Amino acid sequence: MNAAEFLPDVQAVLEERNEPSYRMRQIYRALTGSLVRDWEEATNLPRGLQAALSEGAPAAALTLERVSLATDGTRKYLFYTSDGHAIETVMIPEKARRTVCISTQVGCAMGCTFCATGLLGIKRNLKAREIAEQVFVCARDIAPERVSNVVVMGMGEPMLNYDATLGALRVLNDPDGFGLAARHIAVSTSGLVEKIRRFADEPEQFHLAISLHTPFEDERRGIMPVAAHHTIPELMDAARYFVARTRRKLFFEYTLLAGVNDQPRHVEALAELLDHPLYHLNLLRFNWTDTGFSATSKADARRFLEYARELGLSATLRPSRGQDIDAACGQLAAKDLRGRPAIPMA
Ligand code: SF4
């Protein structure tokens, strides 16, 4: 995605004014490197052009409505798109890392039964600019600290908005743009096998995480409707293709749901399924959402982790962050200021 494709409204203004071609480069750098949110901040642009851009192509595609701060330092950003949809972004501080978790769709069509976003249904795909801008706003907000990692694990299934997501990630990775190394960027998918193969063929070294959540077919269909379209063997074929092609570590996300997928038999089946030295199991305790599930206790989650390691799995248990502001994994519902979801429930 080149600068004109990333900023089509800016390109239209420049063409209408017959501006020299180097202006697009200046503007692209102002947005993605200097992180301007108002054209008056782009002081290398003539005033007339600043005014024309403000009129026809505002520097901020998203309006930042609210920033919530959790006791553990996690920050949640509520944005509105120009057509009035609410989306959320989370910044998680952890030792030297500042990880930003971004959204790629307004809502999500995948309908995972334990996820607040899944309850919303889907309204529309975000544009590449709207996806990348979430990171720009966080970076501006936490400066002089720097965003060290981006994970595409917020609202939406990124593989159903593939081109815009990849376009945004390339801008974030572009040394002439935001300049974040590809290996510091990770995309998470609920398991769309054709897209996993396509992603494996991309030249950049982006990381991939696959949401597995249970090693058993029938259980997976129960909690992840996507499993009706792609069986676990099909998913594991795509996983093997990814590691064979990229030689990169592949992450499997696993949300522990009490009494659903947290038994010893699950660990034993996982040990057989994740039989590759580049596979890594990321365990996460369920964060409360109004979906009828409850969290595995901390002690049981530790036992699950220890048994997984005993059986030879490479595994970690991720701490939950930002729970007191509903910013943890699976909790993003983009409630508007009256506490109602911004998208009517399907
Ligand atoms: S877990 Fe991810 S893919 Fe599933 S409904 Fe939630 S946002 Fe969509």
Confidence at 329, pLDDT banded by 50, 70, 90: low
Minimum mean pLDDT range among 35-49, 89-103, 119-133, 280-294: 280-294
Residue 332 confidence (pLDDT) above 60: yes
Nearest atom, ligand 1, residue 211 CA:
1
For residue 49 and ligand 1, the question of a CB distance below 6 A is answered with no
Q: Which of 122, 152, 190 to mutate to test the pocket of ligand 1 (most atoms within 8 A of CB)?
A: 190
pLDDT score at 286: 85
Nearest atom, ligand 1, residue 224 CA:
4
Mean pLDDT of 316-340: 67
pLDDT score at 226: 85
The answer to whether 120 touches 341, Cβ cutoff 8 Å, is: yes
pLDDT score at 334: 64
Confidence at 330, pLDDT banded by 50, 70, 90: low
Classify burial at 262, counting beta carbons within 10 Å of its beta carbon; exposed 0-12, middle 13-18, buried 19 or more.
buried
> What is the 292 CA–ligand 1 centroid distance (Å)?
16
- Rounded to whole angstroms, the Cα distance separating 343 from 122 reads 8
For residue 117 and ligand 1, the question of a CB distance below 6 A is answered with yes
Mean pLDDT of 5-24: 96
pLDDT score at 342: 47
Residue 93 confidence (pLDDT) above 90: yes
The answer to whether 7 touches 28, Cβ cutoff 8 Å, is: yes
Mean pLDDT of 274-279: 96
**pTM listed for this prediction:** 0.93
Residue 277 confidence (pLDDT) above 60: yes
> What is the 187 CA–ligand 1 centroid distance (Å)?
13
> How much of the chain exceeds pLDDT 90, in percent?
82
For residue 161 and ligand 1, the question of a CB distance below 6 A is answered with no
Rg of the chain over all Cα atoms, to the nearest angstrom: 21
pLDDT tens-place string over residues 279-305:
999 999 988 777 888 889 999 999 999
pLDDT score at 333: 66
Check residues 301 and 330 and name the one with the higher pLDDT: 301
pLDDT score at 335: 61
Rounded to the nearest integer, the mean pLDDT of the chain is 92
pLDDT score at 340: 47
By annotation, the residues acting in catalysis are 88, 329
pLDDT score at 195: 97
pLDDT score at 345: 35
For residue 110 and ligand 1, the question of a CB distance below 6 A is answered with yes
Nearest atom, ligand 1, residue 115 CA:
6
pLDDT score at 66: 93
Q: What is the DSSP string of 52-75?
A: HHHHHS-S-SSEEEEEEE-TTS-E
Mean pLDDT of 122-145: 96
Residue 13 confidence (pLDDT) above 60: yes
- Rounded to whole angstroms, the Cα distance separating 171 from 182 reads 11
For residue 118 and ligand 1, the question of a CB distance below 6 A is answered with yes
Minimum mean pLDDT range among 9-13, 22-26, 321-325: 321-325
> What is the 120 CA–ligand 1 centroid distance (Å)?
10
Nearest atom, ligand 1, residue 190 CA:
3
- Rounded to whole angstroms, the Cα distance separating 341 from 120 reads 7
The answer to whether 115 touches 105, Cβ cutoff 8 Å, is: no
> What is the 82 CA–ligand 1 centroid distance (Å)?
24
Nearest CA to ligand 1 atom 4: 112
For residue 115 and ligand 1, the question of a CB distance below 6 A is answered with yes
pLDDT score at 185: 98
pLDDT tens-place string over residues 201-251:
999 999 999 999 999 999 999 999 888 889 999 999 999 999 999 999 999
| Tokens coding 300 | 């049981």
Residue 344 confidence (pLDDT) above 50: no
Q: Which of 112, 254, 286 to mutate to test the pocket of ligand 1 (most atoms within 8 A of CB)?
A: 112
pLDDT score at 328: 62
If one counts every other C-beta atom within 10 angstroms of the C-beta of residue 342, the result is 22
Provide the residue ranges of all domains of the chain, joining segments of one domain with +. 3-56, 63-325
Residue 338 confidence (pLDDT) above 50: no
pLDDT score at 106: 94
> What is the 313 CA–ligand 1 centroid distance (Å)?
25
Q: Topology of 63-325 in CATH?
A: TIM Barrel (3.20.20)
> What is the 278 CA–ligand 1 centroid distance (Å)?
24
